[in-house]
Amino acid sequence: MQTSSDTPTKILEKARAVDKAFGITFPNRIPDLIERDVWLETVYVCRGSFAVASIIAPPDTYGNDEDKKAPFDPVLKANPQLLKDVNRVAMHDAVLNVAITWKYLWNRLK
């Protein structure tokens, strides 16, 4: 287990500095879970992730053959900013959705 002598405020400042490097800004308050079924909400997040991945590398282009690689190069060479944008959005979405789910579960268990 790692320990730190930093205050919670200092830890959050360090985290925000990392967020800033990626161009990510989070709200000061974690939003509530809109869909009250946490399982369905998780399914919706996964479906959204699949939709984004399908835009970058459409499944009908590479199929399910594990030996065949997804064609990222043609998409990313045509628009190099796309990878940075998708990475930023995916990281923001992942962190925020984990925080929303954690908050919901924490409130139910306390």
Q: What's the confidence (pLDDT) of residue 62?
A: 63
Q: What's the confidence (pLDDT) of residue 86?
A: 79
- Share above pLDDT 70 across residues of the chain, in percent, rounded to a whole number: 84
C-beta separation of 94 from 35 below 8 A? no
Local structure of residue 58 (DSSP, 8 states): -
Q: Is the dihedral of CA 77, 81, 86, 92 positive or negative?
A: positive
**Residue indicated by tokens 């399910």:** 64
Of residues 44, 49, 25, the one with CA closest to residue 34? 44
Low-confidence ranges of the chain (pLDDT < 50): none
